[in-house]
A and B are shown apart, each in its own frame.
Chain A
Amino acid sequence: MLLLENVVVTQGAFRLTADWQAAAGARIAVIGPSGAGKSTLLSVIGGFFGADSGRVMWDGVDLTRMDPGARPITTVFQDQNLFPHLTIAQNLGLGIAPGLRLARADHARVDAALTRVGLAGMGPRLPAQLSGGQQSRAALARALLRARPLLLLDEPFAALGPALKADMLALVAELAGESGATVLMVTHDPKDAASFAPITCLVAGGVAHAPQPTAALLANPPPELAAYLG
């Protein structure tokens, strides 16, 4: 279970609060106007920003003081998810052993993960030799290898076309379903929220609201969301 307990983040005049919890295995969309703090919320959970006060807990463990890599979390960023000078297999290997000392069995796991996301045989290539969609798949394959119970997606598919994006969302849903991971996904697009996430966290007016059923929220949006949806 993810618990955000009285979390307060400030950056100059910007202020964001969050105080809610979500069940393990939940799929949550994070939606709201740009600049409202969607990415900041994920950064605080992921450990890249320190909160001014409050706690971030996972299954009763306090994550607030933990380094990002030590948290039970994988973050997939908007871009720069792969090191351009390392092969796809090496990029994935970092998810198993950050020192890249891989046993034979680890290489087999890398290959299996690549096959799972539809990139069989792409291991020796460099990221630049892959299309945007394939790069996203590689990032997801690494998340699969890391097998952390909480997956944070910070608009990683924003640059993809509609059909590719739908494919990727379906893949994420499948992978999360298999592993039982909890997913938080930032998105601009209410259609993504509707198709992917049963519940949605609205970030607006300095508050990350408790997640509520997506369909109801979109059907009957509060004023801030209505203004954003247009």
Chain B
Amino acid sequence: MAARIKPVMTDRAVIWAATGLAVAVMLLLLAPLGALGLSFSAATLTVAEGSALRFTLWQSVLSAGISVVLAVPVARALARRRFVGREVLIATLGAPFILPVIVAVLGLLAVFGRAGWVNGLLATLGLPAFSIYGLQGVVLAHVFFNMPLAVRMILHGWQAIPTERFRLAQSLGFSPRDVQRHIEWPMLRAVLPGAALVIFVICLASFAVALTLGGGPRATTVELAIYQAVRFDFDLPTAARLALLQFGLCALAFLVAARVALPSGFGAGGGRIGGPPAPGGWHRAGDVVAITLAALFFALPLGAVVLRGVPGLVDLPGQVWAAAGRSLGIALASTAVSIGVALVFAMAAARGRAWPALAATLPLAASSLVLGTGLFLLLQPYVRPSSLALPVTFVINAALSLPFAFRILAPEARSLYTDYHRLSQSLGLTAWARLRWVVLPRLSRPLGFAAGLVAALSMGDLGVIALFAGDAEATLPLIVHRLMGAYRMDQAAAAALVLVALSFTLFWIFDHWGRRYAAA
């Protein structure tokens, strides 16, 4: 049917623009991969590389498994209890997605670190201390980031169960156990594998967490090994080999993720009437404990950063503000590019083409360090890498956030097209008039939300910049990391506070702007 619609000028303009951008995205991904391939020499992995691969897979499995298992009781409690602040809590579960990794790590160190609150408690009780470095620390941080995502996905599954089914169960006299067995467990069986897979894939490309909490022969991810090969050993053939290995991991994950219908993590949690029955007694106590522990697990580290960071705000070193300016510039530039490209792809996809979706999601198959290493190999014979740190970070941030922006925009662009394409055509709206009077106003809400996500992600990103930056090019997350490395923890916390404030403010401004503009 769509193929029968006559292509008109604006359609052609969109398709041509999308084609050009798709070629650009392909080149951006293929050129670094080509450079990696050319410097490929030996196919065998050294012992260290093999253990990096094993660690990467093992920590991903553990992180995914633990996140999902812990998320189930929290999601169930949120699904069946109604309390003041529930909506806020559910909305807050989306926050870790845009929380800069380095900020969370700093908070986790304050709570679980050597001199942290938990170890203080353990010492008082006469128990052995918990070390946050190594596998357990990496997994802890991954659970911190991904359990909220799992909760949202599982909560979505719970809310998708028709209320009638619970009413039927009640009328048949089901006990809570029967409800679990006949209604809730089948839902979980359908939702959990997808949720675990998403988290597994996210953790495969973990860099910043491994950089700060991992390291050493026993806790190095492939991404971290790439960084070390370039930065410490300047062993470019090894870096290339590792980058290809990481690309293989990501590409595999990409193929799996493309085949499995991923549960949605956004927008769950309306205040619907009904829902699962809320049994009393110890079930109730269990739910209270689950929600309280989860809320503390997320609130304490952030609270620790705030407590520690506020005093240091007054005399932050000047380099922090300079780095904040650089980070803001990169975030805004990559947001503009990423959202612009995603919008063109979304509009082309709405016109019934399949390839724009592929072009927009392809960056998922690459990681920050893989692309960075490829570009490093390409460019370092000609220019000093540090002089390219900021442009490269901007381009890679824009490319890597493209899939998220596209996913948010595509369905909205599709329904806009279905509803108003013929009217726009019959009025003879030009491409510009259509953008100004139809597309931007109608899509401002998803555009604002997507722009907020991309800006916050880019603001907090600590990836490729670490590969390229010298002293004069550091972004704010990198400055926080360097302050931590120098054990200037109070300054690190203050800079982290600035970082998290900027990230959330960027998100809020864009999202708010989108909603306001869409108010009509």
CA distance A49 to B3 in the complex (A): 9
- Known contacts A48-B422, A80-B423, A83-B423; A98 and B6 CB within 8 A of each other: no
A13 CB → nearest B CB, Å: 13
Interface membership of B430, Cβ < 8 A: yes
Interface membership of B233, Cβ < 8 A: no
| Contact partner, B423, options A47, A67, A70, A81, Cβ 8 Å | A81
Interface membership of A218, Cβ < 8 A: no
CA distance A65 to B422 in the complex (A): 16
Interface membership of B429, Cβ < 8 A: yes
| Contact partner, B425, options A69, A85, A95, A146, Cβ 8 Å | A69
Identify the interface centre among A69, A73, A100: most chain B CB within 10 Å of its CB. Answer: A69
B516 CB → nearest A CB, Å: 13
CA distance A90 to B427 in the complex (A): 13
0 or 1 for each of A126-149: is its CB under 8 Å from B? (1 = yes): 100000000000000000001000
User: What residues of chain B lie closer than 8 Å to A73, measured between beta carbons?
Assistant: 426
CA distance A68 to B10 in the complex (A): 12
| Contact partner, B442, options A47, A69, A85, A94, Cβ 8 Å | A85
User: What residues of chain B lie closer than 8 Å to A11, measured between beta carbons?
Assistant: 1, 4
CA distance A48 to B7 in the complex (A): 9
CA distance A92 to B520 in the complex (A): 17
- Known contacts A85-B441, A85-B520; A77 and B430 CB within 8 A of each other: no
0 or 1 for each of A84-107: is its CB under 8 Å from B? (1 = yes): 111000100011001110000000
0 or 1 for each of B440-476: is its CB under 8 Å from A? (1 = yes): 0110000000000000000000000000000000000
User: What residues of chain A lie closer than 8 Å to B425, measured between beta carbons?
Assistant: 47-48, 67-69
Interface membership of B5, Cβ < 8 A: yes
B310 CB → nearest A CB, Å: 43
By the criterion CB–CB under 8 Å, are B426 and A98 in contact? no
Q: What total count of A-B pairs have CB within 8 Å?
A: 77
Interface membership of B433, Cβ < 8 A: yes
User: What residues of chain A lie closer than 8 Å to B518, measured between beta carbons?
Assistant: 85
By the criterion CB–CB under 8 Å, are A75 and B9 in contact? no
By the criterion CB–CB under 8 Å, are A77 and B432 in contact? no
Identify the interface centre among B1, B427, B436: most chain A CB within 10 Å of its CB. Answer: B427
By the criterion CB–CB under 8 Å, are B520 and A70 in contact? no
Interface membership of A198, Cβ < 8 A: no
Interface membership of A74, Cβ < 8 A: yes
By the criterion CB–CB under 8 Å, are B433 and A69 in contact? no
Interface membership of B486, Cβ < 8 A: no
By the criterion CB–CB under 8 Å, are B4 and A98 in contact? no
Interface membership of A32, Cβ < 8 A: no
By the criterion CB–CB under 8 Å, are B4 and A94 in contact? no
By the criterion CB–CB under 8 Å, are B427 and A95 in contact? yes
- Known contacts A49-B5, A99-B432; A86 and B426 CB within 8 A of each other: no
Q: Which residue of A lies closest to B519 (CB)?
A: A85
Interface membership of A211, Cβ < 8 A: no
B270 CB → nearest A CB, Å: 22
CA distance A49 to B9 in the complex (A): 15
Interface membership of A37, Cβ < 8 A: no
User: What residues of chain A lie closer than 8 Å to B4, measured between beta carbons?
Assistant: 11, 49-50
Interface membership of B420, Cβ < 8 A: yes
CA distance A113 to B463 in the complex (A): 60
Q: Which residue of B lies closest to A47 (CB)?
A: B6
Interface membership of B297, Cβ < 8 A: no
User: What residues of chain A lie closer than 8 Å to B426, measured between beta carbons?
Assistant: 46, 48, 68-69, 73-75
Q: Which residue of A lies closest to B418 (CB)?
A: A80
| Contact partner, B5, options A48, A70, A80, A100, Cβ 8 Å | A48
Identify the interface centre among A46, A50, A70, A94: most chain B CB within 10 Å of its CB. Answer: A94
Interface membership of B419, Cβ < 8 A: yes
CA distance A83 to B426 in the complex (A): 13
User: What residues of chain B lie closer than 8 Å to A77, measured between beta carbons?
Assistant: 422-423
By the criterion CB–CB under 8 Å, are B428 and A70 in contact? yes
- Known contacts A68-B425, A75-B422; A94 and B437 CB within 8 A of each other: yes
User: What residues of chain A lie closer than 8 Å to B433, measured between beta carbons?
Assistant: 98-100
User: What residues of chain A lie closer than 8 Å to B9, measured between beta carbons?
Assistant: 67
User: What residues of chain B lie closer than 8 Å to A47, measured between beta carbons?
Assistant: 6, 425
CA distance A75 to B422 in the complex (A): 9
Q: Which residue of B lies closest to A75 (CB)?
A: B426
CA distance A73 to B6 in the complex (A): 16
User: What residues of chain A lie closer than 8 Å to B422, measured between beta carbons?
Assistant: 48, 68, 75, 77, 80
User: What residues of chain A lie closer than 8 Å to B419, measured between beta carbons?
Assistant: 80
CA distance A172 to B379 in the complex (A): 68
By the criterion CB–CB under 8 Å, are B6 and A48 in contact? yes
User: What residues of chain B lie closer than 8 Å to A99, measured between beta carbons?
Assistant: 430, 432-433, 436
A36 CB → nearest B CB, Å: 17
By the criterion CB–CB under 8 Å, are B420 and A83 in contact? yes
CA distance A11 to B430 in the complex (A): 28
By the criterion CB–CB under 8 Å, are B6 and A100 in contact? no
A26 CB → nearest B CB, Å: 21
Interface membership of B438, Cβ < 8 A: yes
B428 CB → nearest A CB, Å: 2
Q: Which residue of A lies closest to B440 (CB)?
A: A85
User: What residues of chain A lie closer than 8 Å to B520, measured between beta carbons?
Assistant: 84-85, 126
CA distance A70 to B515 in the complex (A): 35
CA distance A139 to B373 in the complex (A): 58
Identify the interface centre among A46, A48, A73: most chain B CB within 10 Å of its CB. Answer: A48
User: What residues of chain B lie closer than 8 Å to A49, measured between beta carbons?
Assistant: 4-6
Q: Which residue of A lies closest to B422 (CB)?
A: A48
By the criterion CB–CB under 8 Å, are B427 and A50 in contact? no
User: What residues of chain A lie closer than 8 Å to B273, measured between beta carbons?
Assistant: none
Interface membership of B8, Cβ < 8 A: yes
CA distance A190 to B438 in the complex (A): 37
- Known contacts A49-B4, A49-B6, A86-B437; A98 and B423 CB within 8 A of each other: no
User: What residues of chain B lie closer than 8 Å to A84, measured between beta carbons?
Assistant: 520
| Contact partner, B428, options A50, A69, A100, Cβ 8 Å | A69
By the criterion CB–CB under 8 Å, are A98 and B429 in contact? yes
Q: Which 3 A-B residue pairings sit nearest by Cβ, starting from the closest?
A: A69-B428, A68-B425, A67-B8
4 more CB-based (< 8 A) A-B contacts, given A67-B9, A75-B426, A100-B437: A11-B4, A68-B422, A73-B426, A126-B520
A-B contact pairs, 9 of them (CB 8 A): A11-B4, A49-B5, A77-B423, A80-B419, A80-B420, A83-B423, A85-B441, A85-B442, A99-B436
